[in-house]
Structures are given as C-alpha cells and as structure tokens.
Amino acid sequence: MTQNKTENRKKEHITICIEKNIKSTKTTGFEDLTLVHHALPSINMSDIDTTCTFLNKTLKAPIIIEAITGGAKIAEKINKNLAIAANDLGLAMGVGSQRAAIEDQTLESTYTVRKVAPTIPLIGNLGAIQFSNNEYNIKDAKNAINFIDANALAIHLNPLQEATQPEGDLDFKNDKTAIKNICQNLGKPVIVKETGAGISRETAIELEKSGVAIIDIAGLGGTSFSAVESYRDKEKQPIGTVFKNWGIPTAISIVEVTKSTKLPIIASGGIRSGIDAAKAICLGANYVGLALPLLKPATKSANDVKKVLQQIIHELKTTMFLVGAKNLEELKTKDIIITGETKEWLNTRGIDTKTYANRENIKNLRKNIKDVLYQ
C-alpha cells in the first residue's frame, strides 16, 4: 500500500469514529452479568487498592488506553494527550498501527509519546497480516518497538476488518507461523489483540502455544471496524453492514480465554464504565482496555481524557466497595451471576456458569446458615 493511501485511511478512520455511529448493535454481554451486592462490605472504601503489575511496571489501576490512532498528522495531538493522561494517572497505553510510519518515517512523530510519558508501559502495534504475507519481517517488528521506546509489541488480528475493507488483504494462511516467529525473535513481550470480534478458546490455545505473553480479547460490543469500513466504501457497504455484529461478545470471550489458557488477559471491546471493568475482572480478566470513549476527549486535551478515566476508576472502586473487595485479587473471588444469552452460549460450550455464582466461601456460608437454622 502506498504511503499516501495508508495516511489517508488513518485520517478517514479517525473522522468516522468521531462523527459516525460505528458501534455494533450486538452487546458485550455485560448486561447478562450481575455482581452480588454486599450490604455488609466490611471494608473502608478509602483502603481499596486497584494497583497491579503490567509489563513489570506498577499501574495505579488495571486500565490500558487501547490502540486508537497514529500515522496521520491529526493523530499526533491525540496520542500525546492520551499519553499525558496515562502518565499522570499511572496507566498503560498502546499506540495505533505503526504501518504508516514503517512506510513513511516522517510520520514517526505521530506515535512518539515517550517524552511526555516517561514512566508508562507503552505498547507498539503492527498487523498480523503484514507478517503473514511476508510484507514485514522481524526487523520491522523491532523497528516498531525501538522508535517509540515501547515495552511490548501488540500484533493485531483483524480478518473481519480486512474482509470488509476496500483495500483489504486476505492472505492469512501463515498467521500462526508468523506470530510464533515474532514471539521467538523479538526480545520483547508480544501481545496479540483482536480488533472487535473477540478471541475464541481455540484461538487462545493456538496463541499460547506460539509463545504470546498476553491476549487482548477486544470482543464484540464496542467499536465495529466492519461498520467503520462500511462508511469508507459505498460499493462494499453492504458487506460491512451485514457483518457489523459478527464476533464473540466481550463477556463470553473473557470466559472462553480464561478457561482455556493461563495467559494474562486484557478485556476490551465495549468497556464503558467502572462496573463493566469490575465485571470483566471478576470473570477473570487481569486488565481492561478502553479506546472509543477517549477519542473525542483526546482531540481536546489531556485533562479531558483524565476526567473520563478518573470517573471510570471511581466507578470501579465503588463497585469493589459494594461487593466487599479490597483489591483486584479479591474481586476475582466474588460471586457473579451469569444469565441470558451469555449463560446459554457458555453452557453450550461446556462451561458451568453456576460455579461463578457460588465462589465465595460457599461451604462456610452454608455451614453458618445451617447453624443458625438448627440452634
């Protein structure tokens, strides 16, 4: 793809995401999840600890600012505002696909944020398809890491987007081999992320075998890049519209991946509140990722981005308080009720959803109830 075409496509994506409705109408599945309220939380909310470790660095909250943009001049301001917010709040950040800068080095400045965010875990980003079709090699992967001083590289999987994109590349036949090669030779952790269609247990197992360090599920229910592409090409628009709701809902993907691998999980795709974040972590995710809710604020200022993130962190802490979890590890042990389509899917895939509803000291709870009843 020519330099100008890649840069123009990046501009189009930003404009469409800001101005158009590009959300899937299929939901994340979080509405099928209910955390069990504790009227006796037995903790002080001011003592709640949301810190965690990510890429050997401490985060103040388990939040990653997901890959949004890069490769167009308009993206420079957006990425810097996101990075400043991440640095101030002690969060992590990923940049958008660095393909444009690989093709045109003058666009590197649209991704370089390390000067304004010296302490954050920073994630580079390239597409699996460019390695699958041998357009890129390990030298390009290392370059993507080096010119932004990243701590890890995200390899994004976007077969749905490529299939609905006017200039899409559909030669994914060497994808597994390519990812394994990157994991073996990069010298930095490799994160593999979907782009809005989710990760199944079958894919997760393959990724774990390949040596991937972290999986970012990017499930269905948030931004639909099929919908984004439908706005870019009127001739192919029917394809983008038809596949707008294709994929695995975020809540389901979290469970499929956590039940099939031991890898750390980033839950992204439609995370819109601290309650969503708490539900994702309670299901087994280690971190949550946000993108679209931060895009418009990032076109304005770092403070606008911070306001959104601070609200989500406050909501997360409030949810933890209401279920009696003083830290993230305790949150993962709390009971969560799974109903509706999410329950039906998981049960059909052989996952017993009742175990999620009966985690919390069930034997002791039953014994205490029995003692009271038969005194």
Reported as a single tens digit per residue, the pLDDT across 194-241 is 999 999 999 999 999 999 999 999 999 998 877 787 787 666 568 888
Q: Is the model's pLDDT at 167 over the cut of 90?
A: no
- H/E stretch holding 362 reads helix 362-373
Tokens at residue 201, please?
Answer: 């247990």
Residue bearing tokens 């400045």: 109
> Which domains does the chain possess?
3-373 (3.20.20.70)
pLDDT in tens, 264-285: 999 999 999 999 999 999 999 9
Can you give the pLDDT at residue 230? 77
| 18-27, 40-49, 283-292, 311-320, range with the lowest pLDDT | 18-27
Q: Is the model's pLDDT at 371 over the cut of 80?
A: no
The CA–CA distances, whole Å, from 214 to 123, 184, 255 equal 12, 14, 15
Nearest to 263 by CA among 292, 284, 235, 234: 284
CA gap 162, 125 in Å, rounded: 16
Q: Let me know: does 4 contact 11? Beta carbons within 8 Å.
A: no
Can you give the pLDDT at residue 374? 54
Q: Is the model's pLDDT at 9 over the cut of 90?
A: no
pTM of the model: 0.93
| % of the chain with per-residue pLDDT over 70 | 93
Q: Is the model's pLDDT at 308 over the cut of 60?
A: yes
Q: Let me know: does 59 contact 90? Beta carbons within 8 Å.
A: yes
Can you give the pLDDT at residue 235? 60
The CA–CA distances, whole Å, from 52 to 62, 327, 329 equal 6, 9, 9
CA gap 349, 87 in Å, rounded: 41
Give the residue with greater pLDDT, 191 vs 244: 191
Number of Cβ within a 10 Å radius of residue 290: 24
What average pLDDT does the structure give for the chain? 93
Q: Let me know: does 61 contact 48? Beta carbons within 8 Å.
A: no
Which residues are CB-contacts of 80 (< 8 A; sequence separation ≥ 6)? 113, 116, 302
Can you give the pLDDT at residue 21? 79
Tokens at residue 291, please?
Answer: 């993108």
Q: How confident is the model at residue 10 (pLDDT cuts 50, 70, 90)?
A: confident
Q: Where are the alpha helices (DSSP H) in 95-243?
A: 99-103, 128-132, 138-146, 159-164, 175-185, 201-210, 225-232, 237-242
Can you give the pLDDT at residue 76? 96
| 18-22, 251-255, 355-359, range with the lowest pLDDT | 18-22
CA gap 15, 168 in Å, rounded: 19
Nearest to 250 by CA among 25, 30, 21, 65: 30
